[in-house]
A and B are shown apart, each in its own frame.
Chain A
């Protein structure tokens, strides 16, 4: 069967999408992995999951992106969701202040459950709805600086900054991993989710796709 993933990659990074319900997480995921946007998308129940393979500084990186229901505050799947995550895209809706106010709460959750070295990017989504904006970008910028996060305003509808946001996260992760790899040789695991150190270094001699490849599996 074609279910076996035969793609070769140098790194497998797990990135989680978090943020309040209805801020557009699922559309960010579909825009990034399938270049699709659906104005009438259903609420996410539990978890969605997609992957995309792309090039970061000449390395083939497979991004495994998890999307969860925004309402799942006290998740039945919390541990599974954050386990092994090396990056997080914390999304709020620039037209709803409440979703920005809850950013602190999401940060707390990340600190409680995720790896302490997790790379976090704050994303103010629905930037296309500038006329409905209830939150100036400056406020978010201030918060991002205070919390040590990267920040971008994005629009899944207009495919604005989505690619850039993920590229930035993946690059940050890659740099951290490279530094770590220099510091200590880490064991490679060939299969499944990364354990402990949250990276998965696969066969480096693998044949790589030269072009960035989008998988919709």
Chain B
């Protein structure tokens, strides 16, 4: 180090007069000395301006350390030498090493902790870490092909620096695969990706986020892969997060946005950026982009842009079956949601015929049926234990869950259009008939069921209603006190996204007046399982025979109230409910992270959620049944 600060001493062995000899300039120690001085000045100039807000970096000792490390690294890597930006890669490293360091009393070091965190070696450790990181980032600093003979491994076939070709690859290859419209838009506005990507990559996003967020992003990056292979996809993830703003932006606006990247929002953990990149590593296709955009912007891109050939349909059942990790499958409802949707669609079709609806309605139903059929799984199913035994790769399981979830979403999207049409038809029907017409009501119910199924499909972190699980699993005995069962039922209702405000009191009231009529056993025996259960949780009662209960429900139902409103046109009657995420482990891809992608009239639709939250504790209190209580608790977890 002494030699660094006083290079003249280092050169003292050389003949001071050698400058006057015939040695070629490059070999002259004087020449080397002057170059080194220039290099140090160059580094010092940046170090002086490094992290101006942080007092630690204003201290001369810190600055000297920065300069020394960068100088030594530059001398060891003369093909690149020093480039602006390296100092901002080194600064966070020194900061973290310094913060972790322990000042030890002189004497022998015992134990790995004292060796690793010895404050004596901050500079050494920082250099080593910086050197390792630079092995991955070095190429981004390499300007050689356009340069003036730095002698670095010349990529003579491509007359451009590696950073330029890398930037082009990020947009033209990676982004093109996950979000073709965005890649096209960036090309259309003539955005050269290296303009913003150069800083993103060279500084490992140090200027794009706050210092603390940057450290978290780095933690996630290095934890995943110290060689930073996913760096390019992190850039893609960042582009996807501002996708909608970019799509609206002209050149100036887009460049401004990308050079002043918006900070993480409150519900975005910085590491989610890396998680997205890891997800894209395995799903470098439209579906992967669709997933990430939907998750981060709450607004997935239109499926109309989806490439004709989708890998989704090529997946084998064994892959899809791993979706048994999702709450529905674990609860053991045979047939799953496909059955539920199909059932609802079929009954709607039958009722539609009775009502003599317009042909368009039948077309819409046909569309529903067709879409459902496309996704009918084979009849053979693995059991949960099979999956657990044969598939030990936890990461793989999570990936498959994510795939299944994606698939469900796509299904939900397909349903959405059909539901919208149905509601329109429904409106016509309602206008021409008395309000208490039985067929109108059942039609309303049928559409509502399909819509609910669509909502549940879209967000599979929503657990199935308790009645559904009970009825299907048939584990509950009929011997339980009817009053208890009914109380649970009525308490369950408000937590459902579809629950009308009045339903809870309605259910309780009726439970007290005629408890025997709602014995679960008797219901199960009189109706097909799924249909019965669907009714039970929607009505808070669950009987098709009890017409008075149903009409009472209808009058209190938001469906009825909204019959004349436009809200349903968006097909998001139940949208924006905020359930918990039972699977949200966060350990891998956060595949089950809550995302509410619906764009409907939100203020109106948030009401049921409010109701849900208010009534939550109540339902927990009354839940006498162990299984039901468990379900509730997971649901109410934040």
Contacts and interface: CB of A to CB of B under 8 A. Distances in A.
Contact of B249 (A4, A21, A72, A80): A4
Contact of B50 (A3, A42, A71, A191): A42
B213 interface: no
A78 B250 CA distance: 22
B79 interface: no
B190 A22 contact: no
SS of A interface (majority): loop
B259 A48 contact: yes
23 contacts: A1-B245, A3-B249, A3-B256, A4-B249, A4-B250, A21-B42, A21-B45, A41-B49, A42-B50, A42-B88, A43-B84, A43-B85, A43-B87, A45-B198, A47-B199, A48-B259, A49-B256, A51-B256, A74-B147, A74-B161, A75-B146, A76-B160, A76-B163
Given A1-B245, A77-B198, A80-B194, A72 B84 contact: yes
Contact of B250 (A5, A22, A81): A5
Q: In the A-B complex, list the 4 residue pairs whose CB atoms are closest, starting with the nearest.
A: A40-B52, A46-B199, A74-B147, A80-B192
Contacts of B259: 47-49
B198 A46 contact: yes
Contact of A78 (B42, B146, B196, B249): B146
Contacts of B87: 43
Interface of A: 1, 3-5, 21-22, 40-51, 64, 69, 71-72, 74-81, 191-193, 195, 217
B156 interface: no
B250 A191 contact: yes
Interface in B52-104: 52-53, 83-85, 87-88
A76 B143 contact: yes
Interface string B161-178: 101100000000000000
Contacts of B203: 45
Interface string B230-271: 000000000000001100111111111101000000000000
B248 A77 contact: no
Contacts of B252: 5, 49, 51, 64, 217
A177 to B, nearest CB: 19
Nearest to B251: A192
Given A41-B49, A48-B259, A191 B198 contact: no
B303 interface: no
Nearest to A41: B49
Contact of A45 (B52, B84, B253, B256): B84
B46 interface: yes
B635 interface: no
Given A4-B248, A74-B148, A192 B190 contact: yes
Given A45-B85, A47-B259, A40 B49 contact: yes
Given A22-B45, A40-B52, 7 more contacts: A21-B42, A42-B50, A45-B199, A45-B203, A49-B255, A192-B190, A217-B252
Nearest to A40: B52
Contacts of A193: 190, 251
A46 B195 contact: yes
A200 to B, nearest CB: 10
Contacts, number: 120
A78 B245 CA distance: 27
Nearest to B189: A192
A128 B198 CA distance: 34
Contacts of B190: 192-193, 195
Nearest to B256: A217
Contacts of A1: 244-245, 248
B336 to A, nearest CB: 39
B84 A191 contact: no
A50 B256 CA distance: 7
A3 B245 contact: yes
A42 B250 CA distance: 28
B598 interface: no
Contacts of A191: 189, 250-251
B249 A71 contact: no
A47 B196 CA distance: 7
Contacts of B249: 3-5
B295 interface: no
B501 interface: no
Residue picked from B45, B87, B160, most chain A C-beta under 10 Å = B45
B202 interface: yes
Contacts of A40: 49, 52-53
B146 A74 contact: yes
Interface in B257-299: 257, 259
Contacts of A4: 248-250, 253
B143 A75 contact: yes
B182 to A, nearest CB: 14
B207 interface: yes
A127 to B, nearest CB: 20
A64 B146 CA distance: 26
Contacts of B188: 192
A140 B143 CA distance: 31
Nearest to A1: B245
Contact of A42 (B49, B196, B244): B49
A44 B198 CA distance: 12
A3 B46 CA distance: 32
A21 B245 contact: no
B251 A45 contact: no
Interface string B130-148: 0000000000000110111
Contact of A192 (B163, B245, B250): B250
A109 to B, nearest CB: 11
Residue picked from A3, A42, A74, A78, most chain B C-beta under 10 Å = A3
A122 B508 CA distance: 84
Contacts of B244: 1
A180 to B, nearest CB: 22
B195 A42 contact: no
Contact of A71 (B42, B195, B199, B248): B42
